[in-house]
Amino acid sequence: MIRINGESLSLKEVERIASGEEISLSEETFQRIDESAAFIEKLASQGKVIYGVTTGFGKLCDTVIPPEDAGKLQENLIKSHSSGSGEPLPERYVRAGIAVRINSLAKGYSGIRRIVLEKLVELLNKKVYPYVPSYGSVGASGDLAPLAHISLLLLGKGRAFYEGEFKDFSKIFHLINFEPIDRLRAKEGLALINGTAVESGISSLLIREAFYLVEASLKASSLSLEALRGRKEAFDLRIQEVRGYETQEEVAGFVLSQIKGSKLVNSVPRVQDAYSLRCIPAVYGAVLGGLRYAENIILKEINAVTDNPIVFMKSEDVLSGGNFHAEPVAFAMDHFAIVMSEVGSISERRVNRLLNPALSNLPPFLVKHSGLNSGMMILQYTMASLVSENKVLSHPASVDSIPVSADQEDHVSMGMNAVLKADKIISNIRRIVAIELLVSAQAVDFYGSENLGIGTKETYDKIRSIIDFAEHDREFSYDLEKIERALKERKI
């Protein structure tokens, strides 16, 4: 069980929660939560003009709401903002978003009661999967629509997955012994939906997956290096050291560990290799640097206060600001998209070399009796389509802004769009890595796997435990599905 205290949630813990691990609130959070909730309740009862507490929302911020309508205001907010569209987000992504929202609210700056957080925790621990459409967030005022769809369940409304389909939650919450909140109080609806939790929660999972896929891609590229009988001089650590990037040194060291003991590298008289081999340290080193930048941003975001207004108990102030604006997330995930697209781009070039007999000195398209057999020719076509789509998806979402709420919210981040694009790119990269693993293993067999290095032999053996060498043409999509599944389950 993971304890949430609002301060130290890690990306790895978000991933564990997304995969089903239960959580609990740390006792140290309760005093902060209770004090800020009591303070907001006091101000609301006095009729103080505070955004979202005794006023309307967005462009309606100048409309004052009577204290007796404070609860109704919050409930109406949840209902009206549940206006998303598109396919529902996967359960893991929704769980990640709920976990991050709980962590942010647990910091005690939001004026929300303990019972509301406890109900969110209960949803997670009972494995309730709310219906959350993919589209609706522009990444400013936070993830309003996605979080509103989640928050509906606290009121006994909305939809949740039950017995194989999404059902009206009002008809099933009693079946899981969930008791909805009788009513929301001042600011609670706004606190629930006004933050970047869903996009930063999903980003946490994407970044974790990206680090794994980059390692898998480096294993595939090491296998390709051997199959192409490349040179290892380009991985000499002295070359990396004089450039000064630690990540470049890490990559070179990793590849050297993979090919250690190889009889294939440096086995042909060649001065130097093509860039897709020789520049692996430079390219993948930059990729690692980009991922660590994104990781640092998202780590800050999942432990941040991102709603509005913010309650500062020491000075007894309630201040309106813009912490809900997801520009940091948007920038990070746009860069993430570019970085991961390059992993696919350089991988495709290596596969092209493996399949082209003029470049590889291997049989055309890596099959015996070519002509009668087309071999792995079309795998490169598939790869090209995936790489091309990633290039399109790498156009930054953050450079776009469409004003909303009658121009009160006149600049938005489009952070969720950046995240949704990144999600598609990660799926494509998994397929691309699967293709290079399939092709490079096939190529190695023409020389004999006994000539491989220590690490590459392990990778090769894993691939061969999943699929066999292709003696003749066959439906390679089945092979790809098996390798892709192994990658998805992190078995390679």
Number of Cβ within 10 Å of residue 249's Cβ equals 18
d(CA 309, CA 195): 11
Three-state secondary structure call for residue 151: helix
Q: Judge whether 164 and 90 are in contact, CB under 8 Å.
A: no
Q: Judge whether 67 and 326 are in contact, CB under 8 Å.
A: no
d(CA 7, CA 122): 20
Residues making up the chain, counted from first to last: 492
* Catalytic residue selected from 51, 109, 131, 284: 51
Three-state secondary structure call for residue 283: helix
The helix or strand, by DSSP H or E, that contains position 166, with its residue range, turns out to be strand 165-168
Three-state secondary structure call for residue 55: strand
d(CA 485, CA 98): 27
* C-alpha of 333 from chain center: 9
d(CA 383, CA 347): 9
Q: Read off the tokens for 20.
A: 């089903």
d(CA 3, CA 24): 5
Residue 188: which residues within 8 A CB-CB, separation 6 or more? Answer: 74, 111, 112, 113, 116
Q: Read off the tokens for 329.
A: 């997330």
Q: Judge whether 458 and 220 are in contact, CB under 8 Å.
A: no
d(CA 152, CA 165): 18
Place of tokens 């790869």: 383
Active site residue 284: no
Question: H helices of 279-376, where?
Answer: 280-302, 327-355, 357-360
Three-state secondary structure call for residue 124: helix
Q: Read off the tokens for 370.
A: 């070519």
The helix or strand, by DSSP H or E, that contains position 86, with its residue range, turns out to be strand 85-88
Q: Judge whether 194 and 101 are in contact, CB under 8 Å.
A: no
- Eight-state DSSP code of residue 87: E
Q: Read off the tokens for 1.
A: 């069980």
Which positions are annotated as active-site residues?
A: 51
